[in-house]
Amino acid sequence: MINLLNMTECGNYVVGYFLSTVKSVVTVLQIVAPIALIISLIISFSKLVISPENDKKGLRGIAFKCMGIVIFFFLPWIIELALNTFVLESENDGALYLLGSCWKYSSEIKEALDNAEDKGVGNGTTNTQFGSLSTDKLSQAVATGKGMGPVKSIHIDYNPHDKSGKCGKGLNDFCASIATVEYEKGTVKYYTGNQTNSGLLPGSCRAHALTSVINAIKKTNMSTLDLQNYMYKLTPNSGVLIGKKLDKAIQHYNIKATVYHSELQPKKAAQIIRNAVKNGQPVMVFVQNKSCSDLAGISNHHAHIILNIDKNDHVVMVDSCNKKLYGSEEWVNKQAGIKKHVSYKERTPEELVQCLSSKGVSDSYYRLILFEFD
């Protein structure tokens, strides 16, 4: 890598459209130019047969045309290789991206930009905002969406395998947990994949949580890797759900949800959690190690799904690291056969929201996501 460009990643409006336009032109040249050169090559051969005295000049021209055919045929790959010597630095989160990967996925990136509400034109360096699904989120900080009603019972199995593939389609993939929640209006299962499942990129906890909710709401059998393979096209060479592409994933899978960033304050967040549980709506939260190390583990930040508030007014959550609901408990990782001791401090919603991600992180990712059922 020979240069670090101080630009945002592939979702940048100018980068996305410019590379897509250039690639379209190159694709045409890749087809048209070799055909034209082959026709010219045939004509040159014919002239050489008719007038062999011009053999030296004719052979030189034939050699250049053969070289041109090869170059134009491999032109897209040559450009990608050249662009991979440059690195883009995201203005959102400081992550690094190969410019050649932006070129490779330019068609998909342009499609995502076309479908975005805000194309981010402005000064040419504004990142496309894929937008949350509510225009006045804070005034709607009560769970008025469609839910399944109050929770009647909840049961969680840890480290089970899932034949349907919701927790990964690899032979040795297994779930961190499967939560069976009996709501007033029906029973829903939340399958949470494990961070060690095969083929996953860094930052998988957010993808595990979102995939779990998507499958629960839409009754699908998608794995976390399925979600990452889609999102990888929007953010090549990086973990899934970088920046506000979480919003784009929610839109892509047609999920009714509201994503809250730093505008959400603790008091309002606790209110949303309480009302969501009463209404039977799952909530994703992003917590930081600095404030609550027991919830984040070895990570700086970690994603959890809130499913209930128990009789002692403590939140009941699942995550992708095989942790129990809360309290000091021993559990066995069946896959690795290693005993681990995990302790969650019991927290009320008001105590939990003090753990939510800080302003800089929450603006690039989120603090809380409120979901609705179809």
Q: Among residues 289, 258, 270, which one has the least CA distance to residue 134?
A: 258
Residue range of the domain that includes 9: 3-115
Q: Whole-angstrom Cα distance, residue 373 to residue 218? A: 8
For residues 231 and 154, membership in a common domain is answered with yes
For residues 40 and 143, membership in a common domain is answered with no
CB 183, CB 280: distance < 8 Å: yes
241-285 pLDDT, tens digit each:
655 567 777 877 888 888 888 889 999 999 999 999 999 999 999
121 domain residue, yes or no: no
Unique residue bearing structure tokens 């440059």: 86
Beta-strand ranges (E) seen in the chain are 3-5, 86-89, 96-98, 151-158, 175-183, 186-193, 257-260, 283-288, 301-309, 315-318, 327-333, 338-344, 368-371
128 domain residue, yes or no: no
pLDDT of res. 304: 94
46-78 pLDDT, tens digit each:
877 777 666 666 677 788 888 888 888 888 888
CB 296, CB 289: distance < 8 Å: yes
Please, what is the Cα angle at 205 between 151 and 294, to 5 degrees? 75
pLDDT of res. 295: 86
What are the backbone angles phi and psi of residue 71, rounded to the nearest 5°?
A: -65, -50
197 domain residue, yes or no: yes
CB 228, CB 204: distance < 8 Å: yes
pTM above 0.85, yes or no: no
**Spans of the chain below 70 pLDDT:** 1-16, 52-58, 87-98, 101, 105, 107-145, 201-203, 231-245, 297-298, 322-343
pLDDT of res. 129: 31
For residues 183 and 264, membership in a common domain is answered with yes
213 domain residue, yes or no: yes
